[in-house]
Each structure stands twice: as structure tokens, then as C-alpha cells.
A and B are shown apart, each in its own frame.
Chain A
Amino acid sequence: MDEHDFTVLNRLTFGARPDERARFLEVGLKPWIEEQLDIQSIDDLDCSLRLAPFRSLEMEANELEAISNQLFENYDRESLPAELRLASLIRQVYSRRQLYEVMVGFWNDHLNIFTEKGNCFYLKTVDDRRVVRTHALGSFRELILASAHSPAMLVYLDNHVNHKGAPNENYARELMELHTLGVNGGYSQADVMELARCLTGWTVKDHFWLGDFEFNADLHDPGVKYVLGMEISDSGINEAEQVIDTLSTHPSTARFISSKLAWRFIADDPPEELIQKGARAFLDTEGDIKSVLRVILLDGVDFVQPKYKRPSDFVISALRMLHAQTDGRGPDESLRGMGQSLFGCPTPDGYPDNSAAWQGNLMPRWNFAFRLVRGEIEGTQIDMEHLLAYVPDDDLTVRFDALATLLLGVPIAEPFRSGLMELITSGGTNEEEMLQILAAGILVSPSFQWK
């Protein structure tokens, strides 16, 4: 597999494993993408079994509230977000639906929700399932509509307290700025205020089916509104739905989403031509996410530029490529230290997706690599003997090359290859420790920080 294919495959996955590389080489890029887009056709039993202990994933809001409500409204605000983080990590590592998981990560950034804000600690579990996972490869309009009806989003961006006579424009603004049109997408402060009026009364039930969405007509600001030059007649819940229809099929939105996908999969500052092609596919299909993705991926492969791994890319790719067994706990803790705890981004723009933002902090990566190969990451093991079972065990260089090929796609380059071998063999450690240092050496290398 050449460097380019390896890079491409590492954008489509959280770190390519040998079986994924083999399948990619066998069928080629386009059929591989089609296989991945047809998620129901991919058997994911191993991952499902690992998720079985996480009972909260399928619960409704009122059940989630009930299990975290201890005596006297003293809430356990830690357990549910932790379960959601661990389940997400396990899916990223073990799911065979890798492109889907990458897209779930993309939308969780795009529609960021911080689980420490108010009741998001239990509401996000429902949002992850009903909004992001349901629509990750579906229709963009459905995705945004579901998000607007998501209690977690309404709480996170304060719309649950956006009432007639007491407007709160937080969600209305971010819905246009961050979720659809983009900051230069052609809306004004007046549009924000008028959309906020349309959204008055979009709130969350506080008893009977507590935690579910509710449109409370009594809290809705009546009368005609004007958003983006459109006259929105007085029609209750339909007003904001009508605006969302317009927003989610707007040319500015098409461009914004296309551009963000190209940043994620292709390159920082992707070529204008590609953004336009993706935007056109978006408009032609009224926001069919798969169709836009096909264009970005197939037309974009020639423009792929190296991207610096975000902390989660770094951690998950190390775990995947070394076939680690993990229950997620230790990696979750490490990600917190690297500044990318899942669902832990306080600001609604989500974690940054550009190489420059993450390059200042190598040390926690070095710590993670060192502890991972030493078996010191909680709940996480690597079986080096099993990993190298088919590699002759009488020649350390061959084993080193095999390790490098797993992690970097190819053996490590000279003079680093012989330099490292010499350094490690002269150190007087036993063979197990030598392999550990070699594996850690590859994980800490500059190459492994890029994908």
C-alpha cells in the first residue's frame, strides 16, 4: 500500500488496521467507500458485544434522569457522561463501520454539546443516539431539524429559557452561524433576533416525560416575523421549522458544510474548486450527506495534504493499530489531559480541526505512548507477542520493521532505523523491553503525529 493510499485510508478511519488495508487494496477506493456508506451491511458484532454493559445508551431522557437522581435531587452528574465517552471510544476503536464513526465524530464537533452544562449530563446520551447517530449519513435537513428538537441542544444553547417577552438569542445565533450558514453566510443581527422570536417556546418538559422536547405555545411570541427577507406568518412551531428548511438548503450552508468536510477529510485550507463541487452536490441533492461525502472523498483524494492528528486521532489510532484491548477508561483519562475529552468542549464551535491548534503539546502524547507499551494505561493491554505472531522471532530488526509497518504503513526510514536499533540493543534490556521501546519510539515519532 503506498503512502498516498495509507494517508487516505487513515482519513476514512480512526487508524487503519491490516484487514482494512487489505480490503482497500483488494477493492479500491470507490467500492471501499460504498461498502462503508452502507452501514447496515457491515456486521459489527464484536463492537456490539463490547457495548452490551452500557445500559444507558438506549434509555429515554426520563429513565436517564431517574437513574442519576439520587436521594433528594442530589444528582450523579459523572456516571452518564463517562459511560457515553467510554462507549464512544469503544466504537471508535472496535466498530468496523469506521467511516460512519468518523462522521459521527464530525457531527458531534459540528453540533457540539458540552455535557457539563446544566442537564446536558443526561440529555446528551439521547442527542448522540437520536440526532447524531441517526442522521450522520442521512439528510442534513433532518439532522438539523432533529438537533433543533433535541433537549440537550436547547439546554446547551439556552433556548429552553427563550420565552415570549424574554428572548434569549443564543441558540438562534449559533443555529445560523455554526450549524448552517456560517459566520459570513449573509444573516444580520436582526435575523438573529427574529429567529430567536420564532424559537420562543421551544423548550424541554420538566415533568411527565421529563427531559423530552416540548413546544409550549404559551411561551411563544406570536405575530409575523421576518427572517432572511422571508415573511414568516404567525404559525407557532411551524415558524422555526420553516426557517430551518430554508437554512438547511441555503447555498451558504452548502458551501459551509462542504468546506468543513473538506477540511476534515482532505486538507487544512482545501482547494476552492473542491469546496464548490461539494457545495453543488449538496444543493443538487438537498443536503444528502452521503452524496456530498462521495464528492469530497473521490474528487478530493488528489488534494490530500498531511494533517496533524488531533489528540483523539492519536490515541485511537495507537490503540487500533496495535490491536489493544481496552475498556476505554485509561484512554479517556489521557484524552482529558491532552485537552480533547469527548463531549468536553465548552464552546459551541467544537474542538478545532486545523493542524496548528494542536501542535504545541507533545509531552502528554509521549507519556501516553510510553505508558501504553508498558501496560500502564488503565484497563488497556497490548499483546506484543500476539501482534507479531507471524513475524520470525529471531531477528529484532524484522520485528521492528513489522511494527513500523503496522503503525506508519512502511518501515521506518534510515538513518533513524539503524540509529534506533543500535540505541536499543546496546541498552542492555531484555527483548520484551526492547520491543516496548521500539513501539513507543514509533508512537512518539514525528511521523505518527500526522495522518
Chain B
Amino acid sequence: MDEIFGIPMPALMSQLLIGLVNGSFYAVLSLGLAVIFGLLNVINFAHGAFYMVGAFLAWMGMNYLGINYWVMLLASPLIVGVLGFAIERTMLRWLYKVDHIYGLLLTLGITLVVEGVFRAAYGVSGQPYAAPDGLSGAINLGFMMLPTYRAWVVAASLLVCIGTWYTIERTKLGAYLRAGTENPKLVEAFGVNVPVMVTLTYAFGVALAAFAGVLAAPVIQVSPLMGSNLIITVFAVVVIGGMGSIIGSILTGLGLGVIEGMTRVFYPELSATVVFILMAIVLLVRPSGLFGKEN
């Protein structure tokens, strides 16, 4: 079969892969959002901004200091994690006692500041970032050419997601997080330093976003606007999946990326809005989300 619905097979598979790549970003970002929301009860609007900062740090590392991709893949999330640590400690923690919307508004403010700074420094056009040598080129699979870097993005994202899932569901640290999500005061009464756990959770969540940013740098133009374009779609992904399960977030993210990719092939005019349309449908049919737990 060389063609499906008039689209040649290699083109279709190529779009499928792009959809998986975007889906990987959705999965990693919605995972970070869900982890932060679970413990802090805050929707981190700044998630998109940290994704962008992660990508920019990789670019800056290469451009100014000649640091390669692999180092930045580890360093960038670390730096952003420290940033997140500082933000939670100095600003976010004062808002836990008041209405949760203020957490959203604070992170919105942070987004505007961060994006504004980068926009002032670098304008709105994107900076190109080359994939590392080891991952450039493509593998011939017979029915299609598999761009190596894109395959790496999907693999690395899956690895990180599964690693996060394992840590949360199967380790003692994860048990603290799960218990803290349900009843943070009781966990504290057992002698666990919950405030520190909260800070580290926020730092970890935004580090995940930065990791996705570094992965994205060679694929998408590194621009100050790359985060805010993405974050609202990620919100829709989160509403569709519900934040009840990690596996759910991952599957929803990947699935929606693929659906979006396929829409781009068959109905390109709809591709920007298909995720939102699906969100509307899910809200009508299953309001708590595909994998959500009704509270």
C-alpha cells in the first residue's frame, strides 16, 4: 500500500512521527503541570516560560560558551530547577493560604516578565539550533526515512515520563508525594518536612519543562514566544486527560499529538483548533477527563 487516502505512505508516516514528537512535548509538559498541581494546587502558567528558558539556555550555552547539547540537556533543567526553587521559596509559598487563582496569576506575572526579558533581548524571531552530530541524519526503515533526532526526542521523552512514573508510583519518595497530595498536614505531622518537599516538587516540575525545551530546540525555532504558544494547548491536554493519573497524562499527551498531526495532513485548517474541539467534546461527555478521578 503506497498511499492512504491519497497521501503517500512516507509522507503519512513522517507526519505521524511529527505528531509523536509534539505529543511527547505535550506529555512531558502536562506531566510537570500535573505533578505541581497535585501537591501545590497551583496551575503553573509559567510552565511554558520555563520550557522556553530551557531551550534558550541550551542555545546560549552553545552560542556563547560552546557547550554542547548533551551537557545542556542536563545543565539546563538543573539551572531552571534552581530558578523554580527560588521562585517557590520567595513568592509562591505565600499564596498557599489564599485562593488558588492567585497562584495562577503570580505564575502568569512571572511568564510575562520572563518572556518580556527574552523578547527585549532577542526579539521575536527564532534562533536556529542544530541537532548534535550523533543524532543528525536519518535511518532508512524501508517504508520511510526515520529522522534520527525526532526518534530520539520521542524515546527520551518516554524515558523521562516512565522514570517519573516509576519514582512516583514505586518509590518511598513517591509515596511521600502521593500522601502529600492527599493530606499534606498529616504527612507533616508524621515528621516529613513537607514545605521542602513542596519546593523540590515545583523545582522538579519546571525542570521537566526545561528538559522538554532542550529537546525541542533543534526541532522548533528557539524563540521567546515558543512557550506561550504551547502552554494553552497543554492546558487543554490536561483538561482532556484529567490530572488523576500519570499514565493518563502521558497517553493523552501522545495521543493528542498524533491526532493533531493527522489533522494537519487531512484537514490542515482545523489543526490549530482540533485539540480545543476535542476538549469541548470531552467536557460534554466525560467532564472529569478521560483518566480523571471525580473529586
Q: Do A and B come from one complex?
A: no
